[in-house]
A and B are shown apart, each in its own frame.
Chain A
Amino acid sequence: MHNWRVAVVVLALLLTGAVSGCTKLVPASVDDFGANKTVVVTLRDGETIRGHIRRGEAVTFTTFGRVYRARVEDMDNAGNIVLAGAYVQEEYERFSLQRDRMEGAQLRITDGTDRISIPAYKIVKVEEVTIDKMKSARASAFWSFTFFVATRIMGARL
């Protein structure tokens, strides 16, 4: 019984460390899209692009009311990004009015085309997504302790 509980706690620690997804954003260079980095590019209107900014990689483009999943088709040294194969992954109803206005604006994202061009001058900041070690440690500690309490309860009841 004791070994069983220890095993569950250790498993919880490992699982928590592996899948806790505790990340944070750190500043990166505006034109540094480093192929191996996961970055968040923030645009002037608050829209964001998240993922590996590299030809062929899938990224998430978040705009008002919709979240798109698209592929990086092209990017140049000036920081201009072109996304292709965009499809709607998620939609927020409360942004429907904003979305309706955007559809009538320059950035037409619902006219049936699946290409999104993002000029470099719209990029406000680029941040790198890194592992937040402190947050991961807190999450690990929390889930390990919670699993320990849960196993004690199950041990008493079963």
Chain B
Amino acid sequence: MKAPSRLLTAVLTVVVASSWASSARSQSIGTIDTLSVDGRTAWEDGFLSLFNLDRVPQGSRALGMGGAGMALLGGVESVSLNPATLTGIRRVELESEAVYYAGSAGVSSYPQGRLGAILGTSNYRVSPSSSLGYNNLSLGMPLIIFGSRGGLGITYRRVARTGQAEETRAELLVLTSANQAVTFGRGDSPEGGMDAVTLSVAREMGSRLSVGVNLNFESGTLDRSEDLGVSLYGFTVLSGGADFRQDVSGTSFDLGARADLGKLKLAATAYLGHDLKFDRGSAEVRPMAEDPTAPRYDLRSTPLDNTLSVPTMLGFGSAYSLGERFTLAADYLIRPWSNSEITRARIDPVIGFANPADSTSFFADLNISESSEETFSARFEDTNSLRLGVEYLMIRRPDWTMPVRLGFRKEKLMQTNTAIPSMYSAPVALQLELFHLVQIPAGDRTEEQQARYDELGDALRNLWEFNDLIFRGKGVDATTISLGLGYDMGTFGAELAIERKAYDIDNYFLSGYNPDPRYGSQAPLTTKESRSIVAVSLSTRWRF
């Protein structure tokens, strides 16, 4: 093998396909490092590892107050937080909102020592990308419902984004006669998301209580593409990537109530549990070749359709008026994502050793049933959100007001990064241990050996069937600070808000970890990174 090929091959043993990119059956012809499972769901493949299903705040007012405002009467867009607040509108109003996302990232630690042919790594950096998009378009009107004040609203809103785009770069010094430096690059571009058309109705129940309900028709297309590359002297010598697309749809109800106790307002909401259907998926993986002269592969698959159960989210809110200018708001929301389950066609993994005397002859296959389904835990973690907000009417005149807002939010995000349970960090070790137990005839094994044999078999089957599922997005704690400014002239209103969300994650070094035990992969190396995502929201309102 020529020196350059050896160099690049050495690089490629570490630079593997992304842990969330998988599509096709692995091939024994070489080092195509794909997580080789046919017909897996997108969740198992990790394509949706950034898809955070806890709804984004709607309206610049709520954003500026840390997402709080469940107990505040607001504009029509506040129905996404609490449909009961719709009784606060007095005129027909049309509201629209756009959000600009940007961000920054820091890397506090990454492997810098020698890794095989990589002598050292430097300048490892991550850069979130910016994007501009809509957040909601809402129309509301006041109504008299059975003799009491009420409201009707229709909203088109963004519920959840597929993810935040970002780029990763690193300089790798590789072992060659010239100790050449190559540049590794990865671009991760999630696009689209899940939107909802929401029909809302609310009604006052007496002088102090109002109730409301939302009917949400949710749908969207989730896109994610990744590009990998290694460049030498400015020329791209290796490239690869993956593309994914899948549709999502569902219907849900929200219930809300609000009590006006004078200066104190209380509220409660329930975003009722429902199922989301993921279908019409397609995936394509283009593994990075072993060297520039090696064949290129384009592996295509159809992720299995699946259903994800979304648990009910409960919320409690309060607001207190201090005088005529100050308003304090506090909300708490919780969703037991640990109860979420995935249902899809049944998959039965088969593992074993083709040659009982050869530990490298491990094989694995998946049998996909066309007639039966299975349901298993989605393995998410519970999420919760504490939101505090303050609004001060800096200018309060009969014909116009100018509020300023400040907000704080502490929350557990549903998904932000992948994580490997420690048991599966060294699949080769599991495989070798199983191989040694296979050498012992079943009748000669001790009880402990048989128990360990069964445990390892289950672990490897589980690993094989869910090897991406278990590495899929894991939630982290995030802290958000926000500011807001408003201008309301009765007929016309405009609001601006900016929030900064910060959290820390562990990420895979050079985007790669291959849990397939046949490839002798090393224990995964991780980086410690931080993210700071800024959202700038602008909304306008006209009251007719």
Show the binding face of A for B, using Cβ within 8 Å: 135, 138-139, 141-142, 145-146, 148-150, 152-153, 156-157
CA distance A47 to B133 in the complex (A): 49
> Does the CB pair A142–B134 fall under 8 Å?
no
Check B137–A149 contact: CB distance below 8 A. Answer: yes
10 intermolecular pairs with C-beta atoms under 8 Å apart: A135-B491, A142-B541, A145-B540, A146-B96, A149-B97, A150-B96, A152-B134, A153-B134, A153-B195, A156-B195
Q: How far is the CA of A146 from the CA of B98 in the complex (A)?
A: 9
Please indicate the chain A residues that have their CB under 8 angstroms from the CB of B494 in the complex. Answer: 141-142
CB pair A148–B192 under 8 Å, yes or no, is no
A149 touches B192 (CB 8 A): no
Of B98, B195, B489, B491, which contacts A148 at CB under 8 A? Answer: B98
Q: Is B380 an interface residue (CB 8 A)?
A: no
Q: What distance in Å separates the Cβ of B197 from its nearest Cβ neighbour in chain A? A: 10
Is B542 at the interface (CB under 8 A from chain A)?
yes
CB-contact partner of A145 in B96, B133, B195, under 8 A: B96
Taken together as a complex, chains A and B put the C-alpha atoms of A148 and B538 apart, in Å, by 12
The residue of chain A having its C-beta at the shortest distance from the C-beta of B493 within the complex is A142
Q: Are A138 and B489 in contact (CB under 8 A)?
A: yes
| B134 near A146: Cβ-Cβ < 8 Å | no
B538 touches A145 (CB 8 A): yes
**CB pair B98 A152 closer than 8 Å:** yes
Q: Is B72 an interface residue (CB 8 A)?
A: no
Chain B residues whose C-beta falls within 8 Å of the C-beta of A139 in the assembled complex: 492, 542
User: Residue B413 at the A interface, CB < 8 A?
Assistant: no
Please measure, in the bound complex, the distance between the C-alpha atom of A139 and the C-alpha atom of B137, giving whole angstroms: 17
A149 CB to closest chain B CB, in angstroms? 4
- Which residues of B have CB within 8 Å of A148? 98
A145-B98 in contact (CB<8A): yes
In the complex, which of the residues A135, A138, A141, A156 contacts B134, with contact meaning CB atoms closer than 8 Å? A156
Q: A-facing mask of B227-266, CB < 8 A → 1, else 0?
A: 0000000000000000000000000000000000000000
With A142-B492, A150-B137 known, 20 other A-B pairs at CB within 8 A are A135-B491, A138-B492, A139-B492, A142-B494, A145-B98, A145-B538, A146-B137, A146-B540, A146-B542, A148-B98, A149-B96, A149-B134, A152-B98, A152-B133, A152-B134, A153-B134, A153-B137, A156-B134, A156-B192, A157-B195
Q: Mark B62-98, 1 if CB is under 8 A from A, else 0.
A: 0000000000000000000000000000000010111
Q: Does B156 reach chain A (CB closer than 8 Å)?
A: yes
**Cα(A73)–Cα(B310), bound, Å:** 73
Q: In the complex, are the beta carbons of B156 and A153 less than 8 A apart?
A: yes
Query: Which residues 489-525 in B have Cβ within 8 Å of A in the complex?
Result: 489, 491-492, 494
Main secondary structure of the interface of A (DSSP, over half): helix
Collect the chain A residues with CB atoms within 8 Å of residue B195's CB. Answer: 153, 156-157
A72 to B52, CA, bound (A): 67
| Binary CB contact string for chain B from 131 to 142 against chain A (1 if under 8 A, 0 otherwise) | 001100100000
Q: How far is the CB of A144 from chain B (nearest CB, A)?
A: 9
Number of B interface residues at 8 Å Cβ cutoff, please give it.
18
Q: Which residues of A contact B133 (CB under 8 A)?
A: 152, 156
Q: How far is the CA of A43 from the CA of B299 in the complex (A)?
A: 82
Provide the residues of chain B in CB contact with A157, threshold 8 Å.
195
CA distance A111 to B192 in the complex (A): 67
Residues of B within 8 A of A142 (CB): 492, 494, 540-542
Q: Which interface residue of A141, A146, A148 has the most chain B CB atoms within 10 A?
A: A146
List, in ascending order, chain A residues with CB within 8 A of B540's CB. 141-142, 145-146
Distance in Å: Cβ of A7 to nearest Cβ of chain B: 17
Nearest-neighbour CB distance to chain B for A156, whole angstroms, equals 7
CA distance A29 to B489 in the complex (A): 30
A86 to chain B, nearest CB (A): 30
B134 contact set on A, CB distance < 8 A: 149, 152-153, 156
Asked whether A146 and B489 contact (CB < 8 A) given A153-B137, A153-B156, the answer is no
Cβ B98 vs Cβ A149 within 8 A: yes
> B98's closest neighbor in chain A, by CB?
A149
Q: Separation in Å of the B249 CB from the closest CB of chain A?
A: 13
Contacts of B94 in A (CB 8 A): 146
CB distance from B257 to the nearest CB of A (A): 30
- CA A142 to CA B538, docked complex, whole Å: 11
A156: chain B residues at CB < 8 Å are 133-134, 192, 195
- In Å, the complex CA distance between A152 and B494 comes to 19
Q: How far is the CA of A97 from the CA of B532 in the complex (A)?
A: 67
- Rounded to whole angstroms, the CA-CA distance of A22 and B373 in the bound complex is 62
Residue of B nearest to A156 (CB): B192
Give Cα A135–Cα B134 distance, bound, in whole angstroms.
Answer: 25
Q: Which 10 pairs across A and B sit closest by C-beta, in order of nearness? A: A149-B96, A152-B134, A146-B96, A138-B492, A149-B134, A142-B540, A145-B540, A142-B542, A153-B134, A149-B137
List, in ascending order, chain B residues with CB within 8 A of A141's CB.
494, 540
B residues within 8 A CB of A150? 96, 137
For B542, list chain A residues within 8 Å (CB): 139, 142, 146
The smallest beta-carbon distance between A91 and chain B, in angstroms, is: 23
A95 to B170, CA, bound (A): 78
